[in-house]
């Protein structure tokens, strides 16, 4: 979904000339002369959809609020008011949201109570330590794990398994837990099959995927920091207790409720794939009124996601 703020209309209203094509203008962006460094050759690029800006000359960068503050030399409150004048997209209703959190969590507890005697079986032909490189099919899994810079032991610590047969054939299987119980799962192909990810159906899951966070059980209530990622590999790359995954770029109300329940004290970082600026900003906008922690955007290199970095690099970014 696009940010409804019309950046071209805004720049025109401020008598700021912009270019839509030509030298220094990237695809999907417009360029202006950067007031921060006195640039006169349109080096400050603004993504038309996300409104994320970056000057390729002085490296000044930020979101829409920062851009308005820079251009109008105003406070953040004034910038926010300017955006609200032009913003039509609704955010989650703040009133009584903490009561909604309690309702959602109690609903999940009820689901678990009802399902006490139900065990969700994750499709599994082999545990990863049983894979034998002498067999062609097993090598597909081992090669995929190695190419992604993971180890068998690392993935086994998250309960990841291998399935060679039927609906989830040639997929790494990721159990998804809530309060110590496996309530859903998803599979990631190791042979380039489409779709790359296939979820347990809502009919078979104890709790539907969009009501869950991958890695939720590993996070301590009241810890200082939390990272919100798209996928399971991103969460594993950050490490247990550091990140949770929302299984995509959009966050559901149930997932927001789970994040609120963790009572993160200081910082919540949004670390979606490098191109998902608009989706990340939408999550930030919805979370900020609901949590006491400072909600921040982790800007990654274009075309990269957390899975493309080393764990040490990622932890350095958020520290």
Average pLDDT over residues 295-306: 87
28 domain residue, yes or no: yes
User: Are residues 199 and 218 both part of a single domain?
Assistant: no
User: Are residues 137 and 169 both part of a single domain?
Assistant: yes
Mark which of 160, 179, 209 sits at the end of a domain. Answer: 209
Residue position matching structure tokens 């409150």: 77
202 token code pair: 């809502």
Average pLDDT over residues 231-249: 95
- The three-state DSSP-derived secondary structure of 140-152 is HHHHHHHHCCCCH
42 domain residue, yes or no: yes
Q: Which domain holds residue 303?
A: 97-115+213-318
User: Are residues 238 and 202 both part of a single domain?
Assistant: no
Q: pLDDT digits over 142-162, tens only? A: 999 999 999 999 999 999 999
Mark which of 176, 209, 242 sits at the end of a domain. Answer: 209
236 token code pair: 């594993």
User: Are residues 249 and 104 both part of a single domain?
Assistant: yes
Mark which of 188, 209, 230 sits at the end of a domain. Answer: 209
User: Are residues 275 and 304 both part of a single domain?
Assistant: yes
Helix (H, G, I), strand (E, B) or coil at 256: helix
pLDDT-derived band at 16, boundaries 50, 70, 90: confident
User: Are residues 184 and 202 both part of a single domain?
Assistant: yes
In the chain, which ranges are continuous DSSP H helix?
7-13, 64-72, 76-86, 97-114, 136-147, 152-156, 232-238, 253-261, 277-287, 311-318
pLDDT-derived band at 15, boundaries 50, 70, 90: confident
pLDDT-derived band at 111, boundaries 50, 70, 90: very low
CATH number of the domain enclosing 266: 3.40.1360.10
Residue 308 pLDDT > 50: yes
User: Are residues 222 and 285 both part of a single domain?
Assistant: yes
Helix (H, G, I), strand (E, B) or coil at 172: strand
Helix (H, G, I), strand (E, B) or coil at 26: coil
120 domain residue, yes or no: no
Q: Looking at the 3D structure of the chain, how many domains does it have?
A: 3
Residue 20 pLDDT > 60: yes
**Better-predicted residue by pLDDT, 153 or 93:** 153
Q: pLDDT digits over 179-219, tens only? A: 999 999 999 999 988 889 999 988 889 999 989 999 999 99
User: Are residues 108 and 76 both part of a single domain?
Assistant: no
- 252: alpha, beta or left, given left = phi > 0 and alpha = psi -120 to 50? beta
121 domain residue, yes or no: no
User: Are residues 174 and 203 both part of a single domain?
Assistant: yes
Residue 89 pLDDT > 50: no
Least confident among 135-149, 153-167, 212-226, 285-299:
285-299
pLDDT of residue 255: 93
For the beta carbon of residue 241, count every other beta carbon within 10 angstroms. 14
Residue 79 pLDDT > 80: yes
187 token code pair: 């599979």
CATH number of the domain enclosing 148: 3.90.980.10
1 domain residue, yes or no: no
Residue 29 pLDDT > 80: yes
In 148-276, which ranges are continuous DSSP H helix?
152-156, 232-238, 253-261
pLDDT of residue 259: 95
pLDDT of residue 256: 92
User: Are residues 136 and 263 both part of a single domain?
Assistant: no
pLDDT of residue 3: 54
166 domain residue, yes or no: yes
pLDDT of residue 236: 97
% the chain with pLDDT above 70: 89
Q: Give the Cα separation of 281 and 49 in Å (integer).
A: 11
Residue 88 pLDDT > 70: no
Asked if 111 and 305 count as a contact pair (C-beta separation under 8 A), the reply is no
User: Are residues 111 and 182 both part of a single domain?
Assistant: no
Residue position matching structure tokens 């110590």: 180
User: Are residues 188 and 45 both part of a single domain?
Assistant: no
189 domain residue, yes or no: yes
pLDDT of residue 1: 41
2 domain residue, yes or no: no
CATH number of the domain enclosing 24: 3.90.580.10
């Amino acid at each position: 979904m696009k940010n409804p703020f019309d950046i071209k209309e805004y720049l025109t209203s401020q008598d700021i000339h912009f270019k839509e094509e030509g030298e220094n203008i990237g695809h999907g962006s417009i360029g202006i002369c950067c007031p921060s460094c006195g640039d006169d050759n349109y080096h400050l690029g603004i993504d038309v959809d996300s409104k994320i800006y970056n000057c390729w000359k002085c490296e000044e960068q930020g979101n829409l609020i920062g851009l308005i503050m820079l251009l109008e030399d105003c406070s953040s409150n004034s910038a926010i008011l300017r955006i609200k004048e032009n913003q039509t997209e609704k955010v989650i209703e703040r009133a009584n949201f903490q009561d909604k959190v309690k309702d959602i969590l109690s609903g999940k507890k009820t689901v678990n109570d009802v399902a006490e005697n139900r065990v969700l079986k994750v499709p599994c032909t082999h545990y990863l330590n049983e894979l034998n490189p002498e067999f062609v099919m097993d090598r597909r899994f081992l090669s995929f794990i190695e190419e992604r810079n993971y180890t068998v032991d690392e993935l086994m610590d998250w309960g990841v398994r291998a399935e060679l047969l039927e609906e989830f054939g040639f997929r790494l299987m990721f159990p998804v837990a809530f309060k110590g119980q496996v309530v859903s799962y998803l599979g990631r192909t190791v042979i380039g099959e489409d779709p790359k990810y296939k979820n347990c159906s809502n009919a078979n899951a104890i709790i539907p995927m969009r009501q869950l966070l991958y890695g939720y059980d590993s996070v301590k209530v009241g810890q200082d920091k939390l990272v919100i990622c798209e996928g399971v590999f991103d969460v594993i790359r950050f490490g247990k207790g550091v990140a949770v995954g929302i299984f995509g770029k959009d966050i559901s109300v149930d997932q927001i409720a789970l994040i609120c329940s963790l009572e993160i004290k200081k910082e919540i970082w949004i670390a979606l794939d490098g191109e998902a600026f608009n989706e990340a900003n939408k999550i930030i906008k919805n979370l900020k009124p609901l949590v006491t922690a400072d909600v921040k955007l982790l800007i990654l290199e274009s075309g990269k996601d957390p899975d493309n970095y080393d764990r040490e690099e990622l932890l350095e970014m958020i520290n």
